[in-house]
Amino acid sequence: MNNKTELMESLGYHFRDSSLLDLALRHPSLGARNNQRLEFLGDAVLQLVISNHLYSAFPQAHEGQLTSLRQGMVCEKALADIARLLHLGDYLQMDHGCRMNGVADQNGALSDAMESVLAAVYLDGGYESASSLILRLWPEEETQTENAKADLQEYLQAKKKPVPEYHLLDESGPAHAKSFTVAVFVDGTEICRGTGPSKKKAEQAAAGTALEILLLRQ
């Protein structure tokens, strides 16, 4: 197991109470003293920080678009990917059987541990410390959504439907604060619209929402 000082260096945060970090790294396989309560709190902290960030970053986006963006940034895979960048699995404490079975590299264990670490930072240093950490580690929202168009096209191809078409409906606002509205059409029918600070982001927002709508219609 690696020295936790190295983990704190990777996080860019040094705990005043290192027992919080110790608890955040305790897998439930070790018994009642584990990271599950911290996981619960960390989920709420992450949701608040990301929601606040998106609310400020996309003033023209409606609730559905903000929800879609947030979902991509707080999902299990997103958390696990960041945990892997930090090599968090190397620091997890768990029973021998779990370690031997590769649990330390599973998305579920890594995402839970990542949320627990965020909660530990929040309890140790407050909201500003947790927010600073999250916004430093998390990819920009466009990274999280850049595949929305590809995901929608892949879904439609699997359903033997034509590729989606994107139509720019509106471009407004001053040069430094443009807002674009794009509609996505499938087989000639408008599915939904997306808004963003660029045409590309509007298309990605529309594609993400369209995929959600089509999945709900199944």
- Catalytic positions are 43, 115
CB 122, CB 41: distance < 8 Å? yes
Helix orientation angle between 199-216 and 148-158, rounded to the nearest 10 degrees:
40
Identify the CA nearest to 191 among candidates 211, 171, 218.
211
CB 130, CB 116: distance < 8 Å? no
Q: In what order do the strands lie in the sheet with 179-186?
A: 165-172, 179-186, 189-196
Instruction: Quickly count: other Cβ atoms within 10 Å of residue 111's Cβ.
Output: 24
For 6, list phi and psi in degrees, rounded to 5. Answer: -65, -40
What is the rounded distance in angstroms from the CA atom of residue 56 to the CA atom of residue 135? 13
CB 21, CB 119: distance < 8 Å? no
